[in-house]
């Protein structure tokens, strides 16, 4: 009897297949931006500012006459890089802290109080502080978002790991005399994947939005770098005359975040052998 593989599971449900396709497309577009963008994202055409979508410029132009489609494609690169790097960096550290707290109960109090301290600062504040130290820019934003993700991931993982560690199969594994590292890697971590996936996809959306907010405040991507959040921010001055300048990058953020959320759910199900029938 053959069993569907992970990829097969991912493409079985229509929503999952669509989101998987869309995310793949978005990532490809971001990587291939220099080759597929129709125009130079930095070239200004002062004779064609605030052009509505359609016409010569497919998605219109912004206040300086730059092609919004090209800027969105390049912006995707920056936004995705920022979001994924900070999610992965913060997530990995947070997960390590969470597992350590659940596994070594003596460390639990100290580690989780540290996480509470981190949790008490808003991500925007980290951004401000880091921008003050390292100067505004993408690096500061990524570090700030990573730090802000650590305590959240730590809490989620600790909770999930504590539940898993109460299961009999953990005791059985202990009774075989395996090392702690093996126990966590083979038995605890795989059974914590569901909440980690759900949280990661939710968090990716939040991180992208937070990054955009920091860019909006002028702490993140610096003009003229195309970044979806910064682009939405720049369009706010023309919201009544040319709403598409803000709306189009915002829609792009929305679509990307939504696609990652749906994909995250599908991936969680696809990786669970219990649902593989």
Q: Is 185 in the site for another protein (CB under 8 A)?
A: no
Q: Is 105 in the site for another protein (CB under 8 A)?
A: no
Residues in the chain: 277
Q: Is 120 in the site for another protein (CB under 8 A)?
A: no
User: For residues 155 and 167, what is the distance between their CA atoms, to the nearest angstrom?
Assistant: 19
Name which position in 174, 218, 224, 237 contacts another protein (CB under 8 A).
174
Q: Is 8 in the site for another protein (CB under 8 A)?
A: no
- Residue 250 contacts by C-beta under 8 Å, 6 or more apart in sequence? 228, 232
Dihedral of the alpha carbons of 219, 229, 147, 82, in degrees to the nearest 10: -110
Q: Is 43 exposed, middle or buried (0-12, 13-18, 19+ CB in 10 A)?
A: exposed
Nearer Cβ to another protein (3/46):
3
Which residues does residue 67 pair with via DSSP β-bridges, in sequence order?
Answer: 61
Name which position in 167, 185, 236, 237 contacts another protein (CB under 8 A).
167
| Strand, coil or helix: 191 | helix
Name which position in 190, 195, 217, 261 contacts another protein (CB under 8 A).
190
Q: Is 274 in the site for another protein (CB under 8 A)?
A: yes
Stretch touching another protein by CB under 8 A, among 116-124, 128-136, 213-221, 266-274? 266-274
Name which position in 49, 84, 107, 173 contacts another protein (CB under 8 A).
173
* Tokens encoding 152: 């959240």
Cα of first residue to Cα of last residue in the chain, in angstroms, is 11
Name which position in 168, 181, 240, 241 contacts another protein (CB under 8 A).
168
- Residue 148 contacts by C-beta under 8 Å, 6 or more apart in sequence? 90, 118, 121, 122, 123, 126, 210
Residue 182 CB, shortest distance to another protein, in Å, is 7
For CA atoms 257, 263, 266, 267, the dihedral sign is negative
Nearer Cβ to another protein (32/178):
178
Name which position in 46, 133, 176, 241 contacts another protein (CB under 8 A).
176
Residue 186 CB, shortest distance to another protein, in Å, is 7
Nearer Cβ to another protein (56/171):
171
- Count of CB atoms situated within 10 Å of the CB of 138: 20
Name which position in 14, 177, 181, 240 contacts another protein (CB under 8 A).
177
Binding site residues, another protein, CB under 8 A: 167-169, 171-178, 182, 186-187, 190-191, 272-274, 276
């Amino acid at each position: 009897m053959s069993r569907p593989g992970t990829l097969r599971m991912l493409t079985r449900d229509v929503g999952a297949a669509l989101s998987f396709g869309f995310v793949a497309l978005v990532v490809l577009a971001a990587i291939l931006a220099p080759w597929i963008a129709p125009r130079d994202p930095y070239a200004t055409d002062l004779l064609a500012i605030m052009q509505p979508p359609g016409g010569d410029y497919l998605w219109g132009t912004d206040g300086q006459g730059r092609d919004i489609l090209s800027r969105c494609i390049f912006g995707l690169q920056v936004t995705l890089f920022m979001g994924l790097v900070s999610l992965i960096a913060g997530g990995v550290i947070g997960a390590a802290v969470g597992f350590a707290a659940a596994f070594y109960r003596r460390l639990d109090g100290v580690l989780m109080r540290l996480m509470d301290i981190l949790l008490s600062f808003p991500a925007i504040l980290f951004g401000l502080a880091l921008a003050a130290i390292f100067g505004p820019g993408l690096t500061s934003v990524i570090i700030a978002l990573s730090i802000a993700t650590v305590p959240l991931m730590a809490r989620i993982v600790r909770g999930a790991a504590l539940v898993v560690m109460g299961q009999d199969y953990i005791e059985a594994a202990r009774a075989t005399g395996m090392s702690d590292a093996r126990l966590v890697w083979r038995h605890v971590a795989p059974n914590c994947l569901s909440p980690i996936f759900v949280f990661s996809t939710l968090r990716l959306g939040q991180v992208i939005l937070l990054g955009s907010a920091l860019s909006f405040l002028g702490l993140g991507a610096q003009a003229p770098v195309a970044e979806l959040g910064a682009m939405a921010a720049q369009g706010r001055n023309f919201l009544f005359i040319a709403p598409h300048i803000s709306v189009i990058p915002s829609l792009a953020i929305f679509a990307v975040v939504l696609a990652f959320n749906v994909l995250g759910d599908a991936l969680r199900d696809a990786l669970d052998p219990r649902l593989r029938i």
